[in-house]
Amino acid sequence: MTENVKLLINGEFTESSASQWQEVRNPATQEVLARVPMCGSDEVAQAVAAAKAAFPAWRATPIAERARVFLRLQALIREHMDTLAATLTREQGKTLADAKGDVFRGLEVVEHACSVGSLQMGEFAENVAGGVDTYAIRQPLGVCAGITPFNFPAMIPLWMFPMACVTGNTFVLKPSEQDPMTPMLLAQLAQQAGLPKGVLNVVHGGVDAVNALCDHPDIKAISFVGSVGVGTHVYRRGSEHGKRVQAMLGAKNHAVFLPDANKEQTLNALVGAAFGAAGQRCMAISVAVLVGKARDWIPEIVARAQTLKVSAGHEAGADLGPLINRQALARVEKLIGQGVEEGAKLELDGRNPAVVGYPDGNFVGPTIFSGVKAGMQVYEQEIFGPVLCIVEVDTLDEAIAFVNANPYGNGTALFTQSGAAARRFQHDIDVGQVGINVPIPVPVPFFSFTGSRGSKLGDLGPYGKEVIRFYTQTKTVTARWFDDEATAGPVNTTISLR
């Protein structure tokens, strides 16, 4: 019988009473792996109530004790790395190597959470007035929630609940309904690591569950990663209900290539960043901006892309697996057709690849367009598939202006051997994350993942120093004490500016 994906409420893995369920399918074979419930407001309310009840005791738990839970969790994740990666590949489609990378990048955030003792420190100023001290402390908010996408079912949940919980909050996670099995394995490991009942809760579903999280009065903050449409809805609806909201949205990441770049390393980096994970990364390079004589590299880019193997993610040697579902496949194929109609040159057509042994998979091979212009749908849309658009310009200044004119500002990169060009690029570019000879500049966890313009709503990022500020509130205390022999008099807290 097909497995039913369970809920985690108050430390118990329970069957949902939802009236609607959705199938979880292996995107390489269409095999039904499980059924996931479409929870409504009642089950969301149960999860929130459990988190609210657990909050006072968890908040009072010493910082070091909270951190030790996540020390145990990181050890368990390492121990179960192969199981997590295999499950991720079955339900999401990415290659096993990529799946392990997905888990590992989340693991790095868990490790970072273990340093909460230094991250959550406040500030102190002595004698701001006569006998008066002022200090600020960081305290947890209460119940927080996370809504995560299908493309990183391990990494992004691990961005969220470890940092929220280690700072003293309790959490309700709603993972993507398209690949919920990996997040549930992580929830099991969190319980095994010693996370008390109710500190982490997991519900499933679609729009009804999302709206219930946005509306619930006991949820203080929501972290979201996903599409522009859903993220904008979550940001607006959550904010209207008085919550802090951070929303990491869509992207159209450009990499700029100067002709002085190390060509061999540069082209290998481009092909990996454009087509890895079948392009289903918010940090994928989907636009290559070739400056000057770098436009001569197009045949070599195509040749390298043609060597990539398309197959099921668990197959040896696979470089990219299937898209997540039939809808994604149809959308990517439609956009490729529109690119041809709009006059872009289709240098490499990845539609309908012959994948031996997997006739029913949602496969698109590496696809490359040259001659792409602003205004074409293949340029304007976030394709979220293995499609690379090539744009040609004459100067670095033109390239910077072109990137900055795009509505998204998630990530970008410059490939060059010129330090002066790199410095100008990183200074003038209006994008949140910049790589210099690094194709996917996702920062390590002690820096903040960020974005600008249409790629981010909210002013704090989902990990790094910024996320500590997101999951805590600052309380400022001004205090004066008297010894027994002191004569109590009026307190002058006015600080002289002289």
List residues with catalytic annotation. Answer: 282
At residue 291, φ and ψ (nearest 5 deg) are -100, 130
Which among 428, 426, 413, 373 is positioned nearest to 258, based on CA atoms?
413
* Alpha helix segments (H runs only) across 61-200: 63-79, 81-92, 96-113, 116-119, 155-166, 181-192
Please give the Cα distance from 441 to 213 (Å, whole number): 31
- Cα–chain center distance at 319: 22
Residues 392, 396, 399, 400, Cα dihedral to 10° = 180
Q: Is the dihedral of CA 433, 146, 242, 60 positive or negative?
A: negative
Structural contact between residues 346 and 366, judged by C-beta atoms closer than 8 angstroms: no
* Cα Rg of the chain (Å, integer): 25
With tokens 């966890």, the residue in question is 445
Which among 335, 399, 391 is positioned nearest to 367, based on CA atoms?
335
With tokens 């994906």, the residue in question is 5
